[in-house]
Amino acid sequence: MSDFLTHECGIAMVRLLKPLDFYIEKYGTAFYGINKMYLLMEKQHNRGQDGAGFASIKLDMPPGKRYISRYRSINQQPIQDIFTKVNASISARLSEETLEKKDGNWLKNNLPYVGELYLGHLRYGTYGGNSIEACHPFLRQNNWMSRNLVLAGNFNMTNVDELFNELVRLGQHPKEKADTVTILEKIGHFLDEENEHLYKKFKKQGHPKSEISALIANDINVSRILKRSAKRWDGGYAMAGMFGHGDSFVLRDPSGIRPAFYYQDEEVVVVASERPVIQTAFNVSIDDVKEIPPGNALIIKKNGNIKFKEIRAPYEKRSCSFERIYFSRGSDADIYQERLALGKNLVPQVLKAIDSDIENTVFSFVPNTAEVAFYGLVKGIENYLDDWRKDWILKHQSDLTEESLGRIMKIRPRAEKIAWKDIKLRTFITEDSSRNDLVSHVYDVTYGTVKPTDNLVVLDDSIVRGTTLKQSILNILGRLNPKKIIVVSSAPQIRYPDCYGIDMARIGSLIAFEAAEHLHRERNTYDSVFQSVYKDAKKVVDSDAAERINHVKRIFDPFTAEEISNKITELLIPKGMDIKVEILFQKIDGLHHACPNHSGDWYFTGNYPTQGGIRVVNKAFVYYMEGNANRAY
């Protein structure tokens, strides 16, 4: 994605199922869990670079001993900072000689972070600032062990105001109106009620107070807490939590919007946002790593019992297709094949744009996340050439010569590394002309690879706002002086904002929406259509109706995808550029063909999986019409 977006976060959880001495004997270290957490977090660093956090819980610690440890960082390299801090804390209390002489129980009682339960988080902020207070895991503390809650997640709620007001009605006074705080306090409220219920139960049975804490910890009903907490949640979420006494859970939204995978054996339970990181960190096969079912919670009791509980009745599965196109690691076996297919699906459009002149076309990609789809495009061109050669040979059997055969056999797609990203724009430059000049030099090109008679095809994984394309990429590609530049997006046109974890909340910043607005103005339909949609969208925003309609779709209804693409091209061509430019997009059918099991395509189609999402898109349009720069959720 050439446009920079902050997006979904990453989670990692490890629960050790054996005593620490087991890992010392088998793996030679009491830090097995910490080391695995480092791998899981480092291999998901693509999911969050604004900050990170790490927490651990020690089971069955005596009173007076610390059993929860947490460290969060907004350092430029937060994962490295966290584990440097963890290692330093341990090393400060332990020498190499001492380590060899001590058993797992001693290490657990005397060293920070050495425990049985670990939770990590990587943050890309889509709401709120990038302060340390915004970093997960969040901690809700209490002097009763079983009332402590540690929470981290990859989530965005569409109905934060409603959830906030519920907390107020319950008598709470939340310190901030943010989904992280409201979710933490919601779960915390019902965790408190569960503790109160069990305390009264055991007290009534005549148990002494000194024994009740252990009885509560054993009997806490995690699924009941989650069902009561999540009853009115609307959004995309994969959230992980730990209670102070040792129970833990990972809960996924009923539409399966946000990803969550797990692995378990007799030694360990592992959860992560991406499947291949578990495969690599624990050297297990793809079949061993499972997906947490939508609407379900994976619950790990303190005693090591593992179960799944349905918390919310699952909806139609609408897992995020943008995960497949861009966000997740391309090393996932299925994602790799899907991105190849996305590239191959673009071949007919590309051939039409270059008039099938493959000999005089250079193929490349930008940025690196588009590389796999680019391979798919090149493979598709090669397949086309194979078929073309067969047809040509059959047609020219009678006059075929060694020279003519050699010529057509030499035709190959010319794949080159054209664009190189050099620098990251820093926001301290505030003057527009200076900023724009710097942005134009973010990328550099490989000179001498393109001739004036060549077409230049560059594949991008998606085009959201088009800012970098207009201010940097097209200008720098133009320096190669090709005959024509064709920019191809492996994603369809992004027409609608996101509200489930990707920073695309303002509809007016989307280049596809801007293109539709220009077309309406050109055809003198702007006032009638936009005012009509505004009126109906405002009704949706102001209503509590259970069923809602995305009225913003009517903005795009009069136009074909090609008309929108042509207008996007016109809007993004830099001023003064005299090279012909064409911008192409994946078709919706092509997306569904490439990612058949991931139908969460609301960015492209406007088909939101939740009623809260439909309300947000209407609210985003209302804000746009009213000149309100705030986000719609």
Same domain? For 461 and 385 the reply is yes
Whether 407 is in a domain gets the answer: yes
Q: Do 243 and 368 lie in a common domain?
A: no
Distance, in Å, from the CA atom of 160 to the CA atom of 351, rounded to the nearest integer, reads 47
Structural domain that includes position 164: 10-317
Verify that 22 and 104 share a domain, yes or no.
yes
Report pLDDT for 426.
41
The verdict on residue 251 lying in a domain is: yes
Are residues 304 and 342 located together in one domain of the fold?
A: no
Q: Is residue 5 part of a domain?
A: no
Distance from C-alpha of 517 to C-alpha of 523, rounded to nearest angstrom: 10
Is residue 1 in a domain? no
Residue 320 has a pLDDT of: 94
pLDDT at 546: 75
Give the span between the Cα atoms of 95 and 45, in whole angstroms: 31
Residues 186 and 328 grouped into a single domain: no
Same domain assignment for residues 475 and 613: yes
Integer CA distances (angstroms), 124 to 45, 447, 553, in order: 10, 35, 29
CATH number, domain containing residue 110: 3.60.20.10
Domain boundary among 317, 337, 372: 317
What per-residue confidence (pLDDT) applies to 8?
A: 61
| Tokens coding 13 | 């959880």
Residue 627: left if φ>0, alpha if ψ -120 to 50, beta else—which one?
left
Q: Are residues 308 and 401 in the same domain?
A: no
| Domain end position, chosen among 299, 317, 335 | 317
Could you tell me if 112 and 151 lie in one domain?
yes
Asked whether residue 338 falls in the same domain as residue 430, the answer is yes
The answer to whether 363 and 343 are in contact (CB under 8 A) is no
Same-domain pairing of 278 and 412: no
d(CA 554, CA 516): 10
In a domain, 3, yes or no: no
In a domain, 164, yes or no: yes
Q: What angle do CA 199, 204, 207 make, to 5 degrees?
A: 75
416 three-class SS = coil
Same domain? 333 vs 447: yes
pLDDT the model gives residue 620: 97
Distance of alpha carbon 191 from alpha carbon 212, whole angstroms = 16
Whether 353 and 338 share a structural domain: yes
Strand pairing report for 361-365 and 414-415: parallel
Q: What is the CATH number of the domain that holds 385?
A: 3.40.50.2020
- On whether residue 271 sits in a domain, the answer given is yes
Residues 110, 25: contact at Cβ < 8 Å?
no
Task: Say if CB 222 and CB 286 are below 8 A apart.
Answer: no
Q: Residue 150 domain-assigned?
A: yes
Q: Which of 317, 339, 359 is the last residue of a domain?
A: 317
Structurally, the chain folds into a number of domains equal to: 2
| Rounded average pLDDT per 10-residue block, the chain, 633 residues | 56 97 95 98 89 97 95 94 95 74 88 96 70 91 96 91 83 78 93 97 94 96 98 96 98 97 98 97 98 98 97 96 89 96 98 97 93 97 96 90 91 92 48 50 84 97 93 93 98 96 87 98 98 97 88 98 98 96 98 96 97 96 96 84
